[in-house]
Amino acid sequence: MASPTVELKLTAKDFKSDQEVRWCPGCGDYSILAAMQRFMPELGIPRENIVFVSGIGCSSRFPYYMNTYGMHSIHGRAPAIATGLSVSRPDLSVWVVTGDGDALSIGGNHLIHALRRNVNLKILLFNNRIYGLTKGQYSPTSELGKITKSTPAGSADSPFNPISLALGAEATFVARTIDSDAKHLQSVMRAAAEHQGSAFVEIYQNCNIFNDGAFELIKDPSSRDDHLIRLEQGQPITFGAEKQFSVTHPAGSFGLKVEEGGEALVHDATVDDPAYAFALSRLSGSDLGTTPIGVFRNVQRPSYDELITKQLVDAKSQADGTADEMLDALLNKADTWTIM
Amino acid sequence: MASPTVELKLTAKDFKSDQEVRWCPGCGDYSILAAMQRFMPELGIPRENIVFVSGIGCSSRFPYYMNTYGMHSIHGRAPAIATGLSVSRPDLSVWVVTGDGDALSIGGNHLIHALRRNVNLKILLFNNRIYGLTKGQYSPTSELGKITKSTPAGSADSPFNPISLALGAEATFVARTIDSDAKHLQSVMRAAAEHQGSAFVEIYQNCNIFNDGAFELIKDPSSRDDHLIRLEQGQPITFGAEKQFSVTHPAGSFGLKVEEGGEALVHDATVDDPAYAFALSRLSGSDLGTTPIGVFRNVQRPSYDELITKQLVDAKSQADGTADEMLDALLNKADTWTIM
Amino acid sequence: MSVSAGAKRVEQLDRVVIRFAGDSGDGMQLTGDRFTSETAQLGNDISTLPNFPAEIRAPAGTLPGVSSFQVHFADYDILTPGDSPHVLVAMNPAALKANLSDLPAGADIIVNTDEFTKRNLAKVGYAVSPLEDGSLAEYAVHPVALTSMTVGALAELGVAKKDAERAKNMFALGLLSWMYSRPFSSTLRFLESKFAKRPDLVAANKAAFQAGWNFGETTEDFAVRYEIKPARMKPGTYRNITGNQALALGLVAASVRSKLPLFLGAYPITPASDILHELSKHKKFGITTMQAEDEIAAIGAALGASYGGALGVTTTSGPGVALKGETISLAIALELPLVIVDVQRAGPSTGMPTKTEQADLNMALYGRHGEAPLAVIAPKSPSDCFHAAIEAARIALKYRTPVILLSDNYVANGSEPWLLPSSDELPDISVEFTTGANGDDGRFLPYLRDPETMARPWAIPGTPGLEHRIGGLEKADKTGDISYDPANHEHMVRTRAARIEAIEVPELEVEDADEHARVLVLGWGSTYGPIGAACRALRQRGLPIAQAHLRHMAPLPANLGEVLAAYDKVVIPEMNLGQLAHVIRAKYLVDAVPFNQVSGLPFTAATLENMLEDVVKNG
Amino acid sequence: MSVSAGAKRVEQLDRVVIRFAGDSGDGMQLTGDRFTSETAQLGNDISTLPNFPAEIRAPAGTLPGVSSFQVHFADYDILTPGDSPHVLVAMNPAALKANLSDLPAGADIIVNTDEFTKRNLAKVGYAVSPLEDGSLAEYAVHPVALTSMTVGALAELGVAKKDAERAKNMFALGLLSWMYSRPFSSTLRFLESKFAKRPDLVAANKAAFQAGWNFGETTEDFAVRYEIKPARMKPGTYRNITGNQALALGLVAASVRSKLPLFLGAYPITPASDILHELSKHKKFGITTMQAEDEIAAIGAALGASYGGALGVTTTSGPGVALKGETISLAIALELPLVIVDVQRAGPSTGMPTKTEQADLNMALYGRHGEAPLAVIAPKSPSDCFHAAIEAARIALKYRTPVILLSDNYVANGSEPWLLPSSDELPDISVEFTTGANGDDGRFLPYLRDPETMARPWAIPGTPGLEHRIGGLEKADKTGDISYDPANHEHMVRTRAARIEAIEVPELEVEDADEHARVLVLGWGSTYGPIGAACRALRQRGLPIAQAHLRHMAPLPANLGEVLAAYDKVVIPEMNLGQLAHVIRAKYLVDAVPFNQVSGLPFTAATLENMLEDVVKNG
Ligand SMILES: Cc1ncc(C[n+]2csc(CCOP(=O)(O)OP(=O)(O)O)c2C)c(N)n1
Ligand SMILES: Cc1ncc(C[n+]2csc(CCOP(=O)(O)OP(=O)(O)O)c2C)c(N)n1
Ligand code: SF4
Ligand code: SF4
Ligand SMILES: [Mg+2]
Ligand SMILES: [Mg+2]
């Protein structure tokens, strides 16, 4: 974000809008909102320079609750709208809030294009593996065979792995976090905000009405230690109550393995080749067996905004007169003739 | 494809339609068409059970020239249309022909969804890294900085790597081939046809009018040996005039390396973890430096069509009467009351 | 369960409107549904209207969280769910506040006093309880401690307090069932099956119901019981049905009666999703439902299936149709059957997804590039959705054209009794695929038309010898080859228009009881109920009026011009800013007067009655 | 280069129509362009019409591969590129065959005999050469061995044979330039700059041009040279310009005159892509162009930019607009400025992408769900695209609304002389962003309207204190909060309609030379030229007729009703099946008679003249 970091004395409360929050009681969205409102002051950006753009879905109501600028747009199109805003206003900090249906079903194309372009957007995908707002149909992240209102005999399509998809789309920053862990949420928001270019963050979010407990395995204190892997830059990837499990990279293999006591790989999100992050993303499918959270990939590549801005600045430096003068010159730049 | 393989005495000529072919003289599309017409008889499927569905673009004129059933649909939507056809008609062999703009720009979402669903489609993406039909704008596979009609100052968005994208979208079969190599084209078509589920094939295709020579490095006899890597199942990955270059997998790395004389990796497209194919896909970017062609990935996963058909068959096996009787029963399946 | 016969005074009524209102979590939809079902068993005519909050679960006790269900029942045939309730059941202060303005003076209000706590009152901005400040003086208020009485009644059953409290809606249902002398065996059966896995809850809910019934029986506050005689309805077997259910069943029937597999491509959207849900249950009819990645893919897949010989259908609401325009245009060029269902909601943009409107007519008629005509039809009531779906499929199949079916939230979620047809009364809408060449020289001409229907052959993949290619570029007449010939394009554009105009649709019928009306009220789609009710009321008051209702908006019935010409004045009420009126005025140059309401709510009969009275009296 | 003055007979003409036709590879567009430019230097009035093949490069020598360019020039002001050419330059048999039917008897045909080989003749189905079988008897055929003479003339220059052959179009241009006494210095300059990096080609093309000129001068076949006097045109500086160029420059001007950065989100599509190409060259004006992944993203990005305070624009053709409907509807709900350019082409579906049509008017007016009104305007000629673009931006910015600008392939690719305005004559269309609270209590009310324009405040991100949220759900009046209130929705729907109706647009002007016409011909958009030419011809023949041309289709000019009422008969010619006529009939109940042509080609003046003559004479 290009905004100057000014000294501001903002608190979480400053980021609460006057709108009554209307998610179902118990919805995971509440904790994400709270984490965001707590994180925002850290950004050091005046509220008026922050914009939240969302699509449609329960998650997409998010902007109403942030006392910043915001647009609750239409289903799936937030990345496109935010791209136009971000490119034309590099002084703003633009955040996209979206759901698994909004981002990966109807909006899949805009998402992958924003990522390959590396538009300076912070994209938060609230993944509850269900369509909340339309009351419980399966989504592109629902498990194969899932029984929902629209699939009484079980769904027949394998889900996306959002992290793999983002990596396949050339994303420069890819992370995952979870609604129930406020500290982790904020740490990932922080890393995303610091990244120049597109930051894609998948947030596991519980929809207690239509898909309750989807992430229990990695939330429940009795199971989470054995299933949740916290990625930390420069640290060996281990997990388990006693850190007894290691994520290892067997020789000759391209994938990763989980072993008790093996030699743990040291996490480095900054390696240029996305093959490593991709391998990490395959550690868990929809079963959540061994689920990494944290920053998978964080590399630098010029953002679309930067490159476009540079072209504009270069061109403008060739301006040779007032706008009106240049316009007159442009209109006359052709074979002309004069009638007296 | 579920169609019964009957003994048919078809030749390439049988697959030529009566329509005059209208690509520019010298266009790479001609050789792909010729290869397809030569390959088709091998399929052993009667012409009437073969359908080509395309979007819009030069490449998308393909169906007109095949003497099979065909639909030249609208821009980007061929995978969606073909999905409905394939799912509802498992007896057909359905091929999608699309371009880099058609498939990856406007149609990106349908493409990745067809792949994750593993719909039984053979998808041929003619990648000429340009918009041919609209006369030369850059496409999502054009090199960064490319100067085209719509980007006189150079494009600012990094391209997709179609193979990486397909892998990120959970594709089960991913291959690449090249317009100028008829034999290779046909071998890849064959492998794609044999695959149950979505087969995604990127075909490098020369647009001699708007992007001539885009793939010269791997076509020109003087350079191709040093840049083109032919993947062969079960074979070490080597290339160069003297096979002097090896693709190696350095210990501890997730990516691949090209070395003179190193220990060549043995290619295996059937490994379940897509991380290997993904690593392969990163061997070349838009520079074509070291470009693998052949089948990157070829694994089995139930196709969407199969799963849906099974649900239908299971449900139909519970049919308990004629359709009319079942309809009457359905209408009456509620709290009813009778007025005399 | 034993319920005493009761000894209270019994009064006869001809009709009653009851509204159950409570918090989203209070189960008001279910309560209303059950009351409706009981009422149906009695043979009353019925019409219902649910009203959902927009949020999944808005915060408890707030105004946006109020959910209600209105049921109108009578001993004669009725046309609407009623303008204003005679009885309001208000489960909390929010429910009272949100609904009070709809009540006429004298209405009964049954309130759950347990919820009238300081906190709950404050949530909706009541400083003082309206039960105490005299503000409800003009109503007959019945304060009932619904929650605590329910909990009390279940004390012995040992269910958890939360479960006991939840059963309070059954207490309310019991009370109302008693008041209106409803038979309740279907409700008991329903509870048994709903909670089949939780016998404790079956017992609790039954007990709550009985407690409510008994309360009515014993308390002084309810001095009278009411009876509403069965309506005189056509003999036959009935069920109560919502428009979305009927539409889904109509599509099943269309598949059966066309002998074609149905393929539904859909993307969820309120208020159309239920059609997808319902159809996905009927795979044994050979029905495939695909939840696509978006609306464009949904119609694309349906079109692909149609191309392959299925009955391709896509269901959505306005924002979805806005996305499908390009593909509809392709379907028009391809001349393939396709049914596009638009369950309209209030727009523009996201609008008010749970509210009704008829503002997509323009888009249905004109919302595509180029000259892209198609057929448009609209059902007039919940049960009519069944027949409209079959009619849409008939036209699509016979004439090889996309058909847009314009339902709306009002008919989609409203319900009414439906005289069940038997399958053999339904039309046979099967068509033949082409299997042989049709050209002189043994060639296959995919755009050679049937002289009667102007439809082109439907030759599906798999048919040997008819291999051909179609597409969205302009096609040469007969051969279907690509053509840029100006005369051919002119011919094809006019032919596409003419073939839609040539679709045979039934003549428009006019209801003109006295045959001396000078004013015609013309409607379309879901306004049929309120317009009919208004006309009936006027006629009962001796004011002559004629009513005609369009089911086919494209093509329009052949006799429409004649019908319009027969009246001095034509009034067109619509839930939009005058879209049908515009078409009628343009086509017939009749100075039709639009009467528009775009509030997200259906017309009340009273609104229309007032307006029409004015027109009839003052011209 | 020296060109002899010539000694042939010189004849004066008042106007000439020339069509250059050849294979796609023959450079006919360039040849036509150059001839036009030379002609412009002479001060003739000009109108041109290119005709591209649909394929990039259809097989050489085939009918679909024919590319042509027609130029009409005269010593008076003209309105169309001419109905039928006086001169056809046919570079091969296909070009002859494809264009012959447009020629009147007596027309000159210059053919390149070198291309009339057996093979080439066979390709287009000529068994015998038409040059030999007498079938061209009614024309003045000039057989010229264009290719070989060019090659011969360049023999000494040592250029490759292929390059020499390619220069044959310059030979043709030289010959025609001689025939019509055109000044050629601009062409020589052009060649120098076009081939700046290939001096050999500069020399070759110049030599070919001179050879052609000399050939005219010397050969017997061309006995006469023609002169066409300059037209009497308004004094000033002119350039020749196509509609797409003018539209792009108009958008640049709109950016300059609004002092807002222009953001174009576009996805390439014929025939709109050139606007994207042109605008992408003008970054120094602060213009950003983004080639988006599809049309939805393109308009989305433009809307996002508008939200951020830019002049958001998206350019496309019909299929693209069909995809943008949902986002346009959002823009209507958000009440943000947005310009949507639709360069219409023949539909439906993919249709005929390189042909013209006016069939997207309905979609522009009605192609969205819900009541979703916006402003619609259309340019009447190539140069008018410049002013229409500014007018679209003016309305969008001032009234905070999406505006659809309906150009079409005919004006987009046609050209005419354009009297260059100077920037200070252009309107100042700047508007103010809102920077402070507007509510009584220091609150910011994003939907509090300007009492005059009914526009809401445009408070862009970055403005301290005005943080607010907007969206597609229905908004409460003034506050913009989400609202499901029925009365509010009714108010907002009617307000959105009223605010479009309230946009100030100029009164409709009527051209009625004699002021006693009884017939009014009403047009819109690109039909202005042929309608005007037809009216002029009628008047010259003493038949009175009035012409009015709509630039604003929504809202319509306030005086339109009055204008219509003043005539006995109103005729509406359109390149569609009567879309404007439908609107006029509905709104004014005037029995306007549609006259429609949907062939992909513009009306000829003669077609309209015949039709109008009939109406004027027979009523
Ligand atoms: C064009 C369009 N299609 C469909 C819808 C209906 N719709 C609203 S939200 C939604 C999906 C919501 O799922 P998700 O994105 O996962 O968000 P969640 O509610 O789960 O947070 C759908 C299908 C719509 N509003 N617009
Ligand atoms: C909805 C829509 N948008 C845009 C177009 C214009 N268009 C036609 S083909 C094409 C891109 C062609 O590029 P590609 O898919 O790479 O195919 P190629 O011509 O290179 O084979 C575009 C933008 C269209 N026909 N329809
Ligand atoms: S439906 Fe699910 S996602 Fe939506 S608000 Fe309720 S709990 Fe949250
Ligand atoms: S423009 Fe390019 S891709 Fe298209 S036909 Fe010509 S050479 Fe082939
Ligand atoms: Mg979700
Ligand atoms: Mg391409």
D256 in the same domain as D139: no
Q: Of the candidates D208, D228, D248, which is a domain's last residue?
A: D228
pLDDT of residue A113: 98
Helix D185-194 × helix D168-179 angle, to 10°? 160
pTM of the model: 0.96
Query: Is B23 touching ligand 4 by the criterion CB < 6 Å?
Result: yes
Instruction: Assess contact for C270 and C354: CB atoms under 8 A.
Output: yes
Of B162, B196, B183, B109, residue with least CA distance to B285: B162
| Distant-in-sequence, close-in-space partners of A313: CB < 8 Å, separation ≥ 6 | none
Query: Which string of b and e fits C318-338 if b means at least 16 CB within 10 Å?
Result: bbbbbbbbbbbbbbbbbbbbb
Query: Is D271 touching ligand 2 by the criterion CB < 6 Å?
Result: no
Fold of B12-229: Rossmann fold (3.40.50)
C259 in the same domain as C159: no
| Inter-CA distances, D414 with B171, B211, D53, D136, D407, Å | 48, 28, 15, 29, 11
D256 in the same domain as D310: yes
User: D58: CA distance to ligand 4 center in Å?
Assistant: 10
The dihedral sign for the CA sequence A74, A79, A85, A91: positive
Provide the residue type at D30 as one letter. L
| Angstrom distance (rounded) from CA A154 to CA C289 | 12
Q: Of the candidates C458, C475, C504, which is a domain's last residue?
A: C504
Examine the pLDDT at B2 and tell me if it is beyond 80.
Answer: no
* Interface test with chain A among B75, B83, B87, B109, by most A beta carbons within 10 Å: B109
Whose tokens are 């001796």? That residue is C542
Look at residue D53 and tell me if it is in a domain.
yes
Look at residue D453 and tell me if it is in a domain.
yes
Examine the pLDDT at A241 and tell me if it is beyond 60.
Answer: yes
How many separate domains does chain C show? 4
Look at residue C47 and tell me if it is in a domain.
yes
CB-CB neighbors (< 8 A) of D333 in chain C:
348-351
Alpha carbon of C276: minimum distance to chain A alpha carbons (Å): 6
Encode pLDDT of D367-390 as tens digits. 999 999 999 999 999 999 999 999
Average pLDDT value over all residues in chain B:
95
Query: Is B100 touching ligand 2 by the criterion CB < 6 Å?
Result: yes
| Angstrom distance (rounded) from CA C212 to CA B192 | 68
User: B133: CA distance to ligand 4 center in Å?
Assistant: 7
D602 in the same domain as D566: yes
The total of other beta-carbon atoms located within 10 Å of residue A105's CB is 27
Below-50 pLDDT ranges, chain C: 1-5
Examine the pLDDT at A7 and tell me if it is beyond 80.
Answer: no
* Interface test with chain D among A310, A317, A335, A338, by most D beta carbons within 10 Å: A335
**Which secondary-structure segment (H or E) carries A52?**
strand A50-54
Examine the pLDDT at A3 and tell me if it is beyond 50.
Answer: no
* Ligand lying closest to the C-alpha of residue C57: 3
Q: Considering only alpha carbons, which residue of chain D is nearest residue A61? A: D471
Look at residue D4 and tell me if it is in a domain.
no
| Angstrom distance (rounded) from CA D579 to CA D596 | 10
Cα torsion through D454, D460, D464, D469, rounded to 10:
80
pLDDT of residue C270: 96
Encode pLDDT of D21-70 as tens digits. 999 889 999 999 999 999 988 889 999 999 988 777 778 889 988 999 99
Q: Which of the four pLDDT bands, split at 50, 70 and 90, describes residue B322?
A: very high
User: A115: CA distance to ligand 2 center in Å?
Assistant: 22
Helix A323-332 × helix D243-258 angle, to 10°? 170
Nearest to D300 among A51, A84, A340 (CB): A84
User: C59: CA distance to ligand 3 center in Å?
Assistant: 12
Q: Considering only alpha carbons, which residue of chain B is nearest residue D272? A: B134
CB-CB neighbors (< 8 A) of C576 in chain D:
371
Instruction: Assess contact for D575 and D598: CB atoms under 8 A.
Output: yes
Pocket of ligand 1 (CB under 6 A): A 56-59, 75, 99-102, 126, 128, 130-134, 139; C 267-269, 295, 319-320, 323, 350; D 326
CATH of the domain at D358: 3.40.50.970
Instruction: Assess contact for B200 and B125: CB atoms under 8 A.
Output: yes
Nearest to D367 among C352, C366, C583 (CB): C366
User: A133: CA distance to ligand 5 center in Å?
Assistant: 8
Below-70 pLDDT ranges, chain D: 1-7
pLDDT of residue C515: 78
* Ligand lying closest to the C-alpha of residue C291: 1
Encode pLDDT of A73-102 as tens digits. 999 999 999 999 999 999 999 999 999 999
pLDDT of residue D1: 42
- The two beta strands, C375-377 and C108-112, are unpaired
pLDDT of residue C1: 42
Encode pLDDT of C44-54 as tens digits. 999 999 998 87
CATH of the domain at D93: 3.40.920.10
Q: Which two tokens stand for residue D525?
A: 């958009």
C185 in the same domain as C103: yes
State whether residue B150 sits within 8 Å of chain D by CB. Answer: yes
Tell which B residues from 54 to 83 touch C, by Cβ distance under 8 Å: 56, 63-64, 66-74, 77, 80-83
Encode pLDDT of B140-191 as tens digits. 999 999 999 999 999 999 999 999 999 999 999 999 999 999 999 999 999 9
Q: Which two tokens stand for residue D244?
A: 């797409």
N-to-C CA span, chain B: 55
Tell which A residues from 274 to 313 touch B, by Cβ distance under 8 Å: 274-276, 278-279, 282, 301, 304, 307-308, 311
Measured from the Cα of A22, ligand 3's closest atom is 5
The answer to whether the Cβ–Cβ distance between D56 and B106 falls below 8 Å is no
Question: Phi/psi of residue D495, each to 5°?
Answer: -65, -40
Tell me the best of C55, C56, C267, C354 to mutate to test the pocket of ligand 1, counting ligand atoms within 8 Å of each CB and taking the most: C267
Measured from the Cα of A26, ligand 3's closest atom is 7
Encode pLDDT of C266-303 as tens digits. 999 999 999 999 999 999 999 999 999 999 999 999 99
Sketch the domain layout of chain B as residue ranges: 12-229
> Strands of B50-54's sheet, edge to edge?
B228-230, B291-298, B173-178, B199-204, B121-127, B93-99, B50-54, B69-72, C469-471
Look at residue C4 and tell me if it is in a domain.
no
* Structural domain boundaries, residue D357: 239-425
Nearest to B108 among A109, A251, A314 (CB): A109
| Distant-in-sequence, close-in-space partners of D137: CB < 8 Å, separation ≥ 6 | none
Instruction: Assess contact for A268 and A296: CB atoms under 8 A.
Output: no
Look at residue D3 and tell me if it is in a domain.
no
| Inter-CA distances, C582 with B220, C404, C551, D587, Å | 65, 19, 17, 7
pLDDT of residue A159: 98
Instruction: Assess contact for C327 and C307: CB atoms under 8 A.
Output: no
State whether residue B16 sits within 8 Å of chain C by CB. Answer: no
pLDDT of residue B7: 59
Of C313, A75, C129, C540, residue with least CA distance to D369: A75
Alpha carbon of C309: minimum distance to chain B alpha carbons (Å): 9
Encode pLDDT of D305-326 as tens digits. 999 999 999 999 999 999 999 9
Examine the pLDDT at A209 and tell me if it is beyond 70.
Answer: yes
Encode pLDDT of B215-266 as tens digits. 999 999 999 999 999 999 999 999 999 999 999 999 989 999 999 988 999 9
Give, using CA atoms, the residue closest to atom 4 of ligand 1.
Answer: C269
Query: Is A62 touching ligand 3 by the criterion CB < 6 Å?
Result: no
User: D565: CA distance to ligand 1 center in Å?
Assistant: 50
Q: Of the candidates C197, C228, C259, which is a domain's last residue?
A: C228
Look at residue D273 and tell me if it is in a domain.
yes
C449 in the same domain as C514: no
State whether residue A47 sits within 8 Å of chain D by CB. Answer: yes
Tell me the best of A23, A54, A56 to mutate to test the pocket of ligand 1, counting ligand atoms within 8 Å of each CB and taking the most: A56
C442 in the same domain as C416: no
Examine the pLDDT at A117 and tell me if it is beyond 50.
Answer: yes
C444 in the same domain as C533: no
pLDDT of residue B317: 94
The secondary structure of B208-253 as a DSSP string is TTTSTTTTGGGTSTTTGGGTEEE--TTSB-EESTTS-EEEE--TT-
The answer to whether the Cβ–Cβ distance between D239 and A336 falls below 8 Å is yes
Look at residue D261 and tell me if it is in a domain.
yes
C440 in the same domain as C306: no
Our measurement of the distance from residue A111's CA atom to the centroid of its chain's CA atoms, rounded to an integer in Å, reads 10
| Distant-in-sequence, close-in-space partners of D347: CB < 8 Å, separation ≥ 6 | C329, C368, C369, C370, C371, C372, D318, D319, D357, D359, D360
Tell me the best of B75, B129, B141, B202 to mutate to test the pocket of ligand 2, counting ligand atoms within 8 Å of each CB and taking the most: B75
Q: Which two tokens stand for residue C20?
A: 């159950």
pLDDT of residue C425: 95
D385 in the same domain as D333: yes
The answer to whether the Cβ–Cβ distance between D253 and A316 falls below 8 Å is no
Average pLDDT value over all residues in chain D:
95
Alpha carbon of A109: minimum distance to chain B alpha carbons (Å): 5
